[in-house]
């Protein structure tokens, strides 16, 4: 079990490093200089001043030097300073990360609470009208763009009905963005649950359980559900990554003060330390969640543990 | 039964309390939503308009701007300059206070200017103060500035929030610029949650000495929340639900708002914003002024902006916009290329272009504000005279980089771009067109000499003439072809219950007179 976790951890660290290298290269490929952009709206900042500022931020050095400095600082627990406003990137990220995690978490809960029962019902009544109907609904859910769904929910529930606020960050404000993120992912969860459950329902042990005379509800809850939910656990890791990514769009629409919003602003401003900090955070969260879920999977499935 | 009823009513009370507190039904703040956040509360560390607008609320300035964009007394009740403009003396009002109760006098002005010129960490807008060598405080109500050379743009600068006076009690504040900002403006800082919102409370001791507000004292409302709502549809939705009182609406929804009138529109004027064509002048085709003028003759900005923006903006004749010293539409009309497709075709023919050999160019435009649709109209107008323009939309940061790149490259098809600048003084022309030129663009020794003159002439008439010479040169040579003004973030949608909101020149919203009727 520990070898398993250590292996996963090693892979995780490698993944994180590879991601940061790729992103650093990519963001430097985009034209535009952060210092120039930052002071673009004043004719009072002379070109010489811009050069001095660029030099003080280490932006005139080659990309690989900047990357090594970044890694060096990182190993000391320092994520550097934002180009805009000269604040510690660690502070900026850690102030907003809880908001994004809360949003992704609630969205995940919605996706599971909505998607699993739908997928289960569709699998149980496979090839019926219910199955066809639910799966069509789920295709619709997957196809809806997040920003469109978000605006529709905003128009209906916030503007027309006035039940919920339009934007901001707070307990009541989490409902609409989480719904937006959750519904599109619920559709994916539903489809995956359905396939997984169909597989399980065809297994011999299910037929055996039924032949033994167990009531249908017990067969379903004790045997089918547990076996069928296992692949869903691993899929949740990937889904959480999608949630974090989708949060970028949803946070912008609903003005939810999370790291997704921060990342978009940083990209437009070419605030490299913030972008790197964001990608690092994103990669770490996704890797940690995947490892935890893999461990959970191993815990739930004795077959994995024994191997 | 009794117990169940008690717990039921208790939870009902909690729900009701949550609902009330979430709805914010207590003493109301004004809520102003913008698309982005400030960079810093320190007026010497940032330059974005988003930051400037907030500084104008927290801090005060020596001078203020009247409705026509001219500098008038404010903190300084009077000022004078010596004959050659190398010495300025400002007399301050007596009894002024900073928002922390400390006195506001000439020492705070000296602190601000010395800090701007600090050798280790100068202000990022230091050069806008001009060549100030010494700041003297002969008495607490007098400030004397000594300049090494005349710099007449200093006076309008002192009316702009770039020159915000920082109270000297800030020097002991560890979080100055991020968590603390002591000024003497109509509002005081309560908190800044980065990326989310700035909470301001009214300054009860505020006295309005010269700013454009009817209210001569503290603002009527208790608080002002400046929130960040990046999505334009979300801002509109929030205006409709009442969560937000004032915000920039989506440009596409403006005609509908004008028709249904469920929101009021406040349109800023004298914004100092100028949207114009400029060209990559160091290679063909636009190294030849005939090609540049051909573009000018082919463009009908008035028709284009009428189609896209209706009456909200209008064609601008001068390279510096209304509200800026030296702006004179009648003068500029004589020299700018007016809409005349035949003239454009004739010039192109001279250069060897024709129907089977069109002039090819890239047209760089920055995203947002329906400028993509505007660009398509311009593209069509250019096509009508035989100019083949390829539209390239990009965010403003990328565009600035690209403009410099095009100016530095000697190969490739032509490049022109729709650039915009806004400034409170014609000195902007100096930084655009005086060598080395912004983004390595057009410069000539002749123009340099003319621009140098505009910086030093203290007599307003003489300076106006010098500025006019520059305008004439720019227009006749097609260096800068003015299109329209205003051009960005100048329209505000306001809930009908909100009265007294207006915008001062150079897009500084004023909240001192605001009252909200639905309490």
ipTM: 0.86
Please tell me the total number of residues recorded for chain B in this structure: 519
Q: Which of A40, A49, A84 sits opposite B400 (nearest CB)?
A: A40
Contact B39 A84 (CB under 8 A): yes
Relative to beta strand B359-366, strand B387-394 is parallel
**How far, in Å, CA of B271 to CA of B261, rounded?**
24
pLDDT at B26 over 60: no
Q: How much is the mean pLDDT over chain A? A: 86
A26 vs chain B: nearest CA distance in angstroms? 15
Q: pLDDT above 90 covers what percent of chain B?
A: 84
Confidence of residue A26 (pLDDT cuts 50, 70, 90): confident
Nearest-by-CA chain B residue for A261: B195
Please tell me the total number of residues recorded for chain A in this structure: 307
A248 vs chain B: nearest CA distance in angstroms? 12
Taking the Cβ of residue B320 and every Cβ of chain A, the question of whether any pair is shorter than 8 Å is answered with no
**How far, in Å, CA of B130 to CA of B189, rounded?**
30
Among all chains, which residue has been given the structure tokens 């937000």? B244
pLDDT at B23 over 50: no
Answer left, alpha or beta for residue B140, where phi above 0 means left and psi between -120 and 50 means alpha: alpha
| pLDDT at site B20 | 46
**How far, in Å, CA of A214 to CA of A205, rounded?**
12
Nearest-by-CA chain A residue for B195: A257
Burial of A31 (0-12, 13-18, 19+ CB in 10 A): middle
**Closest residue by Cα to residue A195 from A219, A230, A241:** A230
B272 vs chain A: nearest CA distance in angstroms? 13
In this prediction the pTM is: 0.89
pLDDT at B364 over 80: yes
Query: With contacts defined as CB-CB under 8 Å, which chain A residues touch B122?
Result: 49
The pairs formed by B109-114 with CB atoms below 8 angstroms and a separation of 24 or more are: B109/B62, B109/B135, B109/B137, B109/B143, B109/B165, B110/B135, B110/B136, B110/B137, B110/B143, B111/B166, B111/B167, B111/B168, B111/B171, B112/B163, B112/B164, B112/B165, B112/B166, B113/B145
| pLDDT at site A142 | 84
Cβ atoms of B139 and B106 within 8 Å: the answer is: yes
| pLDDT at site A54 | 87
**Mutation site, A51, A255, A264, A265, interface B, largest B CB count within 10 A:** A255
**How far, in Å, CA of B265 to CA of B262, rounded?**
10
Which carries the bigger pLDDT value, residue B427 or residue B11?
Answer: B427
Distances (CA, A) of B140 to B35, B93, B136: 41, 10, 10
pLDDT at B277 over 80: yes
Contact A44 B194 (CB under 8 A): no
Query: With contacts defined as CB-CB under 8 Å, which chain A residues touch B192?
Result: none
Which carries the bigger pLDDT value, residue A219 or residue B212?
Answer: B212
Cβ atoms of B429 and B451 within 8 Å: the answer is: yes
Q: pLDDT above 70 covers what percent of chain B?
A: 95
User: Where is B493: in which H helix or E strand?
Assistant: strand B491-494
Contact B195 A264 (CB under 8 A): no
Q: Which of B233, B238, B401 sits opposite A32 (nearest CB)?
A: B401
3-class secondary structure per residue, B20-32 = HHHHCCCCCEEEE
Residue-wise pLDDT for A257-276, tens only, equals 999 999 999 988 889 889 98
3-state secondary structure of B499: strand
Strand partners, B31: B225
pLDDT at A215 over 90: no
| pLDDT at site B24 | 40
Distances (CA, A) of B459 to A201, B463, B466: 93, 6, 11
User: Where is B388: in which H helix or E strand?
Assistant: strand B387-394
Which carries the bigger pLDDT value, residue B360 or residue A7?
Answer: B360
Q: Which of A44, A151, A261 sits opposite B127 (nearest CB)?
A: A44
Query: With contacts defined as CB-CB under 8 Å, which chain A residues touch B227?
Result: 167-168, 255
Residue-wise pLDDT for A68-124, tens only, equals 888 888 888 888 888 887 888 999 999 999 999 999 999 999 999 999 899 888 888
Per the structure block, which two tokens stand in for B281? 């002048």
| pLDDT at site B336 | 96
| pLDDT at site A207 | 84
Answer left, alpha or beta for residue A31, where phi above 0 means left and psi between -120 and 50 means alpha: beta
Query: With contacts defined as CB-CB under 8 Å, which chain A residues touch B45?
Result: 85-86
pLDDT at B107 over 50: yes
| pLDDT at site A234 | 79
Contact B47 A162 (CB under 8 A): no
Where would I find the H helices in B409-517? 427-433, 445-456, 460-476
**DSSP readout, B156-201?**
HHTTSGGGPBPPGGGGG-TTBTTTB----SSEEEEEEETTTEEEEE
């Amino acid at each position: 079990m520990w070898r398993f976790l250590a292996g996963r951890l090693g892979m995780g660290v490698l993944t994180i490093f590879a991601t940061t290298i790729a992103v650093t290269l990519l963001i430097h490929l985009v034209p535009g200089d952060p210092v120039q952009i930052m002071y673009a709206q004043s004719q009072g900042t002379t070109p010489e001043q811009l050069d001095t500022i660029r030099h003080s931020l280490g932006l005139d050095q080659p990309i690989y030097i900047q990357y090594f400095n970044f890694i060096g600082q990182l190993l000391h627990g320092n994520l550097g300073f934002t180009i805009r406003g000269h604040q510690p990137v660690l502070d900026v990220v850690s102030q907003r990360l809880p908001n994004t995690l809360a949003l992704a978490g609630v969205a995940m809960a919605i996706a599971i609470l909505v998607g699993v029962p739908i997928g289960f019902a569709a699998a149980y009544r496979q090839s019926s009208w219910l199955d066809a109907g639910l799966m069509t609904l789920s295709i619709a859910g997957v196809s809806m763009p997040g920003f469109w769904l978000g605006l529709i929910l905003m128009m209906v529930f916030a503007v027309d009905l006035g039940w919920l606020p339009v934007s901001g960050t707070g307990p009541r404000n989490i409902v609409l963005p989480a719904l937006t993120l959750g519904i599109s992912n619920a559709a994916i969860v539903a489809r995956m649950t359905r396939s997984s459950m169909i597989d399980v329902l065809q297994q011999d042990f299910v037929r055996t359980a039924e032949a033994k005379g167990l009531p249908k509800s017990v067969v379903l809850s004790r045997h089918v559900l547990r076996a069928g939910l296992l692949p869903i656990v691993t899929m949740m890791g990937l889904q959480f990554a999608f949630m974090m990514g989708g949060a970028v769009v949803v946070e912008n629409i609903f003005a939810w003060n999370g790291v997704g919003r921060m990342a978009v602003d940083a990209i437009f401003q070419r605030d490299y330390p913030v972008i790197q900090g964001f990608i690092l955070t994103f990669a770490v969260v996704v890797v940690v969640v995947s490892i935890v879920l893999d461990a959970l999977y191993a815990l739930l499935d004795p077959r994995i543990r024994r191997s | 039964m009794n117990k169940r009823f008690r717990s039921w009513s208790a939870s009902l009370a909690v729900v009701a309390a949550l609902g009330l507190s979430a709805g914010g039904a207590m003493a109301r703040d004004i809520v102003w939503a913008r698309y982005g956040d400030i960079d810093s509360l320190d007026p010497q560390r940032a330059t974005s308009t988003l930051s400037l607008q907030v500084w104008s609320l927290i801090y005060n300035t020596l001078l203020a701007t009247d409705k026509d964009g001219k500098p008038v007394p404010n903190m300084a009740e009077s000022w004078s300059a010596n004959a050659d403009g190398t010495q300025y003396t400002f007399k301050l009002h007596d009894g002024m206070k900073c928002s922390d109760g400390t006195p506001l006098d000439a020492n705070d002005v000296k602190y601000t200017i010395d800090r701007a010129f600090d050798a280790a960490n100068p202000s990022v807008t230091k050069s806008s103060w001009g060549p100030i060598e010494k700041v003297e405080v002969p008495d607490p109500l007098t400030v004397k500035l000594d300049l090494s050379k005349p710099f007449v743009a200093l006076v309008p600068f002192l009316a702009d929030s770039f020159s915000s006076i920082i109270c000297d009690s800030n020097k002991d504040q560890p979080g100055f610029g991020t968590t603390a900002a002591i000024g003497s403006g109509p509002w005081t800082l309560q908190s800044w949650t980065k990326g989310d919102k700035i909470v301001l409370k009214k300054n009860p001791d505020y006295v309005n000495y010269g700013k454009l507000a009817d209210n001569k004292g503290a603002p009527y409302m208790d608080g002002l929340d400046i929130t960040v709502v990046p999505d334009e549809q979300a801002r509109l939705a929030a205006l409709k639900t009442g969560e937000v009182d004032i915000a920039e609406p989506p440009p596409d929804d403006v005609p509908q708002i004008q028709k249904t009138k469920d929101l009021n529109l406040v349109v800023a004027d004298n914004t100092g914003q100028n949207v114009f064509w400029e060209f990559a002048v160091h290679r063909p085709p636009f190294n030849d002024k005939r090609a540049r003028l051909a573009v000018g003759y082919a463009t009908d900005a008035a028709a284009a902006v009428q189609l896209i923006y209706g009456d909200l903006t209008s064609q601008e004749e001068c390279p510096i916009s209304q509200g800026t010293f030296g702006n004179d539409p009648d003068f500029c009309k004589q020299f700018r290329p007016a809409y005349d497709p035949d003239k454009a075709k004739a010039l192109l023919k001279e250069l060897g272009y024709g129907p089977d050999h069109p002039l090819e160019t890239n047209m760089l435009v920055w995203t947002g504000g329906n400028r993509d649709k505007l660009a398509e109209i311009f593209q069509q107008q250019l096509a009508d005279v035989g100019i083949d323009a390829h539209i390239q939309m990009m965010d403003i940061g990328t565009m600035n980089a690209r403009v410099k790149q095009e100016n530095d490259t000697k190969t490739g098809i032509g490049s022109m771009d729709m650039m915009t600048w806004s400034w409170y003084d014609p000195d902007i022309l100096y930084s655009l067109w005086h060598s080395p030129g912004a983004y390595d663009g057009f410069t000539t020794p002749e123009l340099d000499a003319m621009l140098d003159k505009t910086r030093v002439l203290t007599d307003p008439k003489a300076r106006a003439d010098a500025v006019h010479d520059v305008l004439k040169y720019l227009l006749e040579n097609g260096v800068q072809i003015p299109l329209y003004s205003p051009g960005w973030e100048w329209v505000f949608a306001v809930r009908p219950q909100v009265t007294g909101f207006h915008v001062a020149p150079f897009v500084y919203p004023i909240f001192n007179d605001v009252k909200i009727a639905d309490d």
